[in-house]
Structure 1
Amino acid sequence: MNSKFKNIRFTRFRLAVCLVIFYSLSTYQIFAQNKPNILFICTDEQHPAISGFRGNPVVKTPNLDALAADGMYFTRAYVASPVCAPSRAAYMFGKHIHQLNYWYNGQAWPKDEVTWATRVTQSGYYTAHYGKMDSPGLYGKLGFNEEWNSAERPERISPGPDMRFDPEHPRLAKGHLEVKTFDINEYTIDAYTAGPKKYGQYAVDRPSINHALRFLENRNSDKKPWMLHVGLLMPHWPITLPQKYYDMYANVDIPMPHDAKFPNKNIHPALQHFQKWDGLDEQPSEEKLKNALRGYYGMISCVDDMLGELITELKKNGMYENTYIIFTSDHGDNLGEHGLMGNKHTPMEASVAVPLVITGPRVKQGVKIETPVSLVDMYPTIMNMAGINYTDPEMPGKNLLPILEGKEAANDRTVFSEWHGLGFPASWYMLVNEKYKYIYYERDRPSLFDMENDPKELNDLALNDDYSYKLKEFETELKNRIDPVKVAQMARKYHKLITDDGKELIFGEAPFPKSK
């Protein structure tokens, strides 16, 4: 074979290789451009039903209402545990907190678990997180390409026995009724670092939104699909907000929360324990309570405006139609309901339920889903949105994308939540389906509510002997899932409420007033 023929063959081979590479790159670019983007927005301490699309007659949430009209909204979305860090860890890892051995704020996030951010990044997405995550031990290591944390809670080994209720040192929830405002023009609108505390959570969230907006502005030059997580602190107390948002409600008659008695002797003894821990043992005037709610409503409207900024940027850059948007919160706030103020740690709806709105490509528009879902469902749902073939039998969540696209009915299911933290010397567990909510209080009687006929949870059916069979059914189901006593002891050992020799450290002679 002469050299001329060899050169021709080699040239043809190089041409073939180049064509394969060109075809592969072109195919990847087309594939990448067609893959949907994902925007996940998580607020902090947002009541599940204070929004226009949920029927609140006063609050102004035009952007959230429009988002709900463009997609699906869930009226029964629950967190794995109603407090910041455990809730966010649960939806980032897709597991319940007892599976993660993760019990309360300040504890280091597990390093042997994998976030969905890591998997989405590995699949070829360009990913970022800006704002609050509350991930001690994993700040900067959550799996995103970019990460900026607006506030970092220091890691602690264990809070010690003083983290449970001490009757001599209640939380002084009276401070939760105080409202402070400021002129929004005083704050640097283009700030990229957290501002002074006198500007409240706004000084933390404004930089987070600015980072997110800059991220979205730069995406048109990047051919990769992207995933962005934005963590906000509003409307978390203290009630500090720009004056213009307070003024939106200054002359509005705010709806009073139901069952707002301080103290409330009609609620479950465990809830009375939470109420004592709040420290609000005197009935505030109706005007003082409504004024606090005006400030809270104002913070929700401020969050809504920030959401609007993100949506405007998506539409300006032509990315809105190809972007899944998930809007939710890490927990709620009772906001005076049942006489609980500044408390987010109970199994009552305002605390353990959150808003959840999802929109995006092929998501059915304007659909309300009343079937219970959990934020642990976000892991498999995001995997499916990103086209990642991943399953884990240890993950309890359900992929919601077939429901969002109308390919699957939202069938009834039982959702689980739990609590092992502040304000309570024991633990509680919740099971909820479309019809009933069951609450197992360690060391006291259970509660049972008919959520269809009693959505405000005013009539505890556990006091009615006719429902003893239903209590037994739920208790059996709970114990088939976990050992509630063993899990509670695991949490108390972490909190150092059980000594090495097995002695339990509890304030007072009883964990809470015994039921009659």
Structure 2
Amino acid sequence: MVWWRVVPPFAPPRPRVRRLAVALAWAALTLLSACSTQPSRPNVILILTDDQLAASLALMPTLQRELVGEGVHLPNAFTSTPLCCPARVSLLRGQYAHNHRVRSNGGPEGGFPKLYDTGAEASSLATWLQGAGYRTALMGKYLNAYPYGPEGENPSGYRGPRVNYVPPGWSEWYGFIDVPRDPRNSPYAMYDYKINANGRIRHYGSRPQDYQTDVLAGLAVDFVRRSARRGPFFLLLAPTAPHLPAVPAPRHADAFRDLQAPRPPSFNADPQGKARWLELPPLSDADIAAIDATYRAQAQMLLAVDELLGSLLDALRETGTLDNTYLVFTSDHGWHSGEHRLFHLKLTPYDASVRLPLVIRGPGIPKGEVREHLVLNTDLAPTIAAWAGVSPPAWVDGRSLAPVLRPRPVPLEGWRQSVLTEFWPRRALGEDPEHRPTEHHPKVPVPQYRAVRTLGRLYVEYRYADGTREGELYDLTNDPFELTNLYAGADVALKAALAAHAEALQGCAGATCRALEDQAVP
């Protein structure tokens, strides 16, 4: 022992010194024992689907049992921009699109090239966690037009990375190559696609084992098993299911044979009284058949995602890491399946497009509970950072969901009172390439808008290319399906207050956004 060496030779230690030394030794051993039994920092797995309706969670049995039944369901979760690339950047950066400036899927103002051009990849959820000692991995879809967009659509003076580029912050990288309008490089093909596997481009063909969701499941399970004893890990798992074209795994091709798309009151509803861009004819029998066929195929695709979740849970149990792992399941935005005569479309401010599926399970989170609080996709990055013990940068707009997820949540009146939704149409081509006219779907030119949503109201301001404007206002308490536009007859002072709040939110940043969201809205 150290104390023995400081005693003069041949002299026994004094009783008082010996008692003190023994006490110190026991204290040290107790401290070491306590440290060894403290739980390690939690792991986090975030599963991010593409174009998934919030209601379709009910079609996933493993998710219902293992996440909804064992965690918290947040039914009032919304996307800040109902379009893939802006929404995914908002998730990774915790920002509204007006702050991260990626406004579309491509063109000079959108896609991966825009984010790369801004240099904003240098600070994201991935870099925050990796800097704190986490092993980080992305598997699946990153951003539209990764790693390069079509020639002529990139930001002015853009110099993109090499095809095998791996963004900062990722310890392991398995990102889908996505070149718009190039079927040889499409992440939406469930077969015959390419993955940048840690800097090496892998091509997957048309064999049964190449089915995209199953490949991701194998990669994810392998990562969990390898990472279980190597410190905390963060996995962003982003299958493109159930995005079109809807191609289910062959083993699920006969599932849900009689399933139809939901028929809420907004299905095929007359748009009279709404903004003029929604002047659409009634859905035909062929339209409705196409909607049902698509919904059924997308539901079948989600069965493979549900199996992926089951495989991950098995791996977590086998490695003894389940109790110390947060699992978050969500999507980038919703999807119209006939509501307001819209289908094969997102982009709108309406519930079908902006409401997210969101379920969270993990240490300290209650089981089988529902939280009605307003939640945004910008909240996920600061929430995961908080679980990891990391303070996000001051410019983050979102907030940690910890007060909502604890056993006794913050009251609704003490939480966010409004959320902003914002959308900009593409300027390079005038429309998003995913939404060009098809056999059963006309071109629907969704105009630029900003919208404020509360638990009881939806207020929308449209701005058309010719400079004209229109408004919509819905009483969600009495009209949850957004059928009756009250804007024309609404009180002038009310409309002015809502317009001022929308303008302030679209100009906010960081703590200012949270303060504005917390304000009571008329």
TM more than 0.5:
yes
The yes-or-no answer on 1:444 pairing with 2:448 is: no
TM-score, structure 1 as length reference: 0.73
Corresponding residue for residue 351 of structure 1: 353
Q: Shift of the alpha carbon at 1:380?
A: 1.3
Corresponding residue for residue 400 of structure 1: 401
Q: Shift of the alpha carbon at 1:362?
A: 0.4
Structure 1 residues 46 and 310: alpha-carbon distance in aligned structure 2, compared to 1, 3 A threshold:
same
2:475 maps to amino acid: D
Q: Shift of the alpha carbon at 1:209?
A: 1.8
Corresponding residue for residue 57 of structure 2: 51
Corresponding residue for residue 222 of structure 2: 214
Corresponding residue for residue 361 of structure 1: 363
Once residues 218 and 237 of structure 1 are traced to their aligned partners in structure 2, the CA distance between those partners, rounded to angstroms, is 33
Corresponding residue for residue 509 of structure 1: none
Corresponding residue for residue 43 of structure 2: 37
Once residues 286 and 62 of structure 1 are traced to their aligned partners in structure 2, the CA distance between those partners, rounded to angstroms, is 29
Once residues 148 and 89 of structure 1 are traced to their aligned partners in structure 2, the CA distance between those partners, rounded to angstroms, is 18
The within-5 A match list for 1:63-462 is 63-105=63-105, 106=111, 107-109=113-115, 110-112=118-120, 113-134=122-143, 136=147, 139-149=165-175, 151-154=176-179, 195-196=204-205, 203-222=211-230, 224-252=231-259, 255-256=262-263, 258-261=265-268, 267-272=274-279, 282=284, 284=286, 286-388=288-390, 390-412=391-413, 413-422=417-426, 423=431, 424=445, 426-442=447-463, 443-462=468-487
Once residues 456 and 54 of structure 2 are traced to their aligned partners in structure 1, the CA distance between those partners, rounded to angstroms, is 18
Q: Indicate the SS of the match to 2:450.
A: strand
Q: Is the 8 A contact 1:95 1:397 kept in 2?
A: yes
Q: Shift of the alpha carbon at 1:195?
A: 3.1
Structure 1 residues 411 and 199: alpha-carbon distance in aligned structure 2, compared to 1, 3 A threshold:
farther
Q: Equivalent of 1:480, from 486, 501, 504?
A: 504
Q: Shift of the alpha carbon at 1:480?
A: 2.0
Structure 1 residues 406 and 194: alpha-carbon distance in aligned structure 2, compared to 1, 3 A threshold:
farther
Q: Shift of the alpha carbon at 1:458?
A: 1.2
Q: Shift of the alpha carbon at 1:63?
A: 2.4
Q: Is the 8 A contact 2:81 2:97 kept in 1?
A: yes
| Identity among equivalent pairs (%) | 25
1:441 maps to amino acid: Y
Structure 1 residues 194 and 401: alpha-carbon distance in aligned structure 2, compared to 1, 3 A threshold:
farther
Corresponding residue for residue 163 of structure 1: none
- Indicate the larger mover: 111-120 or 425-434: 425-434
Structure 1 residues 441 and 483: alpha-carbon distance in aligned structure 2, compared to 1, 3 A threshold:
farther
Q: Shift of the alpha carbon at 1:411?
A: 2.5
Corresponding residue for residue 517 of structure 2: none
Q: Is the 8 A contact 1:257 1:335 kept in 2?
A: no
Q: Shift of the alpha carbon at 1:337?
A: 1.3
Could you list the per-position Cα deviations for residues 5-43 of structure 1 after superposition, in whole angstroms to 9, with x for gaps in the alignment? 99x99xxxxxxxxxxx99999988766x52111111100
Q: Is the 8 A contact 1:194 1:204 kept in 2?
A: no
TM-score, structure 2 as length reference: 0.72
2:368 maps to amino acid: G
Q: Indicate the SS of the match to 2:76.
A: strand
Q: Is the 8 A contact 1:437 1:450 kept in 2?
A: yes
Q: Shift of the alpha carbon at 1:351?
A: 0.9
Could you list the per-position Cα deviations for residues 259-289 of structure 1 after superposition, in whole angstroms to 9, with x for gaps in the alignment? 33399556432344xx69xxx9755264443
Q: Shift of the alpha carbon at 1:118?
A: 0.7
Once residues 83 and 207 of structure 2 are traced to their aligned partners in structure 1, the CA distance between those partners, rounded to angstroms, is 24
Once residues 90 and 336 of structure 2 are traced to their aligned partners in structure 1, the CA distance between those partners, rounded to angstroms, is 21
Q: Indicate the SS of the match to 2:347.
A: coil
Once residues 190 and 393 of structure 2 are traced to their aligned partners in structure 1, the CA distance between those partners, rounded to angstroms, is 47
How many residues were matched structurally? 422
Once residues 241 and 190 of structure 2 are traced to their aligned partners in structure 1, the CA distance between those partners, rounded to angstroms, is 14
Q: Is the 8 A contact 1:462 1:468 kept in 2?
A: no
Q: Is the 8 A contact 1:71 1:357 kept in 2?
A: yes
Once residues 221 and 391 of structure 1 are traced to their aligned partners in structure 2, the CA distance between those partners, rounded to angstroms, is 26
Q: Is the 8 A contact 2:135 2:227 kept in 1?
A: no
Q: Shift of the alpha carbon at 1:153?
A: 2.7
Once residues 221 and 282 of structure 1 are traced to their aligned partners in structure 2, the CA distance between those partners, rounded to angstroms, is 57
Q: Indicate the SS of the match to 2:237.
A: strand
Could you list the per-position Cα deviations for residues 437-472 of structure 1 after superposition, in whole angstroms to 9, with x for gaps in the alignment? 111111321111222222211122213x24443322
2:505 maps to amino acid: R
Structure 1 residues 258 and 245: alpha-carbon distance in aligned structure 2, compared to 1, 3 A threshold:
farther
Once residues 29 and 169 of structure 2 are traced to their aligned partners in structure 1, the CA distance between those partners, rounded to angstroms, is 30
Once residues 373 and 131 of structure 2 are traced to their aligned partners in structure 1, the CA distance between those partners, rounded to angstroms, is 33
Once residues 378 and 211 of structure 1 are traced to their aligned partners in structure 2, the CA distance between those partners, rounded to angstroms, is 23
2:77 maps to amino acid: A
Q: Indicate the SS of the match to 1:337.
A: coil
Once residues 203 and 96 of structure 2 are traced to their aligned partners in structure 1, the CA distance between those partners, rounded to angstroms, is 31
Runs of 5+ unmatched residues, structure 2: 10-27, 106-110, 148-159, 182-188, 192-200, 432-444, 509-522
Structure 1 residues 28 and 146: alpha-carbon distance in aligned structure 2, compared to 1, 3 A threshold:
farther
Runs of 5+ unmatched residues, structure 1: 10-20, 53-58, 157-179, 183-191, 485-516
Q: Indicate the SS of the match to 1:34.
A: coil
Q: Is the 8 A contact 1:61 1:300 kept in 2?
A: no
Once residues 393 and 218 of structure 1 are traced to their aligned partners in structure 2, the CA distance between those partners, rounded to angstroms, is 34
